[in-house]
Amino acid sequence: MASGEKIKIAIIGGGLAGATLMNALSSVKHTHLDVDLFESAPEFSERGAAVGIAQNGQRAMVEIGGAVAGALERAGGVTMSSSRICLASGPSALSKVLDLAPEKRGKVVHRAALLSELLKPIDPAKMHTNKKVVRIEELESDRLLVHFEDGSTFKVDAAIGADGVHGHVREHVLGADHPALKATFAGFWDSRSLVPMKKAKELLGEDKFEVQRQYGWIGDGGFFMHDVLDGEETVQCVVAGMADDWGENEWKRELNKDLLEEAVGKWTDTPIKSGMIQAMLENPDLKAFAEWHHKVDAPTYTKGPVCLMGDSAHSMTPWQGSGAGQCIEDTMILQTLLEQVKYRKHLAAAFEAYDQVRRPRTQKIIESSHGTGVILCGRGPNTGLDLEEIQKVLGHRWDHIHSLDLEEHKRQALAALQARI
Residue 103 has pLDDT above 60, yes or no: no
Q: CA angle, 223 as apex, 220 and 225 as ends, to 5°?
A: 150
Average pLDDT of the residues in 408-419:
98
Can you give the pTM of this predicted structure? Answer: 0.92
Distance CA(32)–CA(387), nearest Å, equals 56
Higher model confidence: residue 77 or residue 378? Answer: 378
Is residue 226 situated within a structural domain? no
Is residue 246 situated within a structural domain? no
Characterize the bridge pairing of strands 153-156 and 302-303: unpaired
Distance CA(51)–CA(322), nearest Å, equals 9
**277 touches 264 (CB < 8 A):** yes
Is residue 323 situated within a structural domain? yes
State the pLDDT at residue 104: 62
List 234's β-bridge partners, or say none. Answer: 196, 229
Residue 376 has pLDDT above 80, yes or no: yes
Residue 419 has pLDDT above 90, yes or no: yes
Higher model confidence: residue 151 or residue 55? Answer: 151
Is residue 155 situated within a structural domain? yes
Average pLDDT of the residues in 193-216:
93
- The contacts of residue 68 (CB under 8 Å, 6+ apart) are 20, 23, 24, 61, 118, 328, 331
Give residue 110's pLDDT band: very low, low, confident or very high (50, 70, 90).
Answer: confident
State the pLDDT at residue 171: 98
State the pLDDT at residue 246: 93
Distance CA(86)–CA(97), nearest Å, equals 5
State the pLDDT at residue 101: 66
Lowest-pLDDT range, 200-204, 248-252, 389-393? Answer: 248-252
**Mean of pLDDT over the chain:** 94
Residue 320 has pLDDT above 90, yes or no: yes
Is residue 277 situated within a structural domain? no
Is residue 207 situated within a structural domain? no
State the pLDDT at residue 404: 95
Q: CA angle, 128 as apex, 126 and 133 as ends, to 5°?
A: 125
Cβ-based neighbour number of residue 28 at 10 Å: 6
CATH number at residue 368: 3.50.50.60
Give residue 233's pLDDT band: very low, low, confident or very high (50, 70, 90).
Answer: confident
Residue 47 has pLDDT above 70, yes or no: no
State the pLDDT at residue 373: 98
Average pLDDT of the residues in 239-243:
97
Residue 41 has pLDDT above 80, yes or no: yes
Q: CA angle, 376 as apex, 271 and 186 as ends, to 5°?
A: 125
Domain assignment of residue 65, given as a range: 7-183+294-418
Average pLDDT of the residues in 170-198:
96
List 353's β-bridge partners, or say none. Answer: none
Residue 48 has pLDDT above 70, yes or no: no
Q: Which of these, 115, 101, 99, 109, lies nearest to 52 by C-alpha position?
A: 109
Average pLDDT of the residues in 368-388:
97
Number of domains composing the chain: 1
- pLDDT cut 70: percent of the chain above it: 96
pLDDT digits (tens, 9 = 90+) for 190-199: 999 999 999 9
Is residue 14 situated within a structural domain? yes
Q: Helix/strand/coil (H, E, C) string of the chain? A: CCCCCCEEEEEECCCHHHHHHHHHCCCHHHCCEEEEEECCCCCCCCCCCEEEECHHHHHHHHHHCHHHHCHHHHCCCEECCEEEEEECCCCCCCCEEEECCHHHCCEEEEHHHHHHHHHCCCCHHHEECCCCEEEEEECCCCCEEEEECCCCEEEECEEEECCCCCCCHHHHHHCCCCCCCCCEEEEEEEEEEEEEHHHHHHHHCHHHHCCCEEEEEECCCEEEEEEEECCCCEEEEEEEEECCCCCCCCCEEECCHHHHHHHCCCCCCCHHHHHHHHHHCCCCCCEEEEEEECCCCCCCCEECCEEECCHHHHCCCHHHCCHHHHHHHHHHHHHHHHHHCCCHHHHHHHHHHHHHHHHHHHHHHHHHHHHHHHHHCCCCCCCCCCHHHHHHHHCCCCHHHHCCCHHHHHHHHHHHHHCCC
Lowest-pLDDT range, 39-53, 78-92, 250-264? Answer: 39-53
Residue 387 has pLDDT above 70, yes or no: yes
Residue 102 has pLDDT above 70, yes or no: no
Q: Which of these, 143, 134, 135, lies nearest to 304 by C-alpha position?
A: 143
Residue 304 has pLDDT above 70, yes or no: yes
Is residue 369 situated within a structural domain? yes
Give residue 52's pLDDT band: very low, low, confident or very high (50, 70, 90).
Answer: confident
Q: CA angle, 265 as apex, 264 and 270 as ends, to 5°?
A: 70
Average pLDDT of the residues in 155-175:
97
List 8's β-bridge partners, or say none. Answer: 34
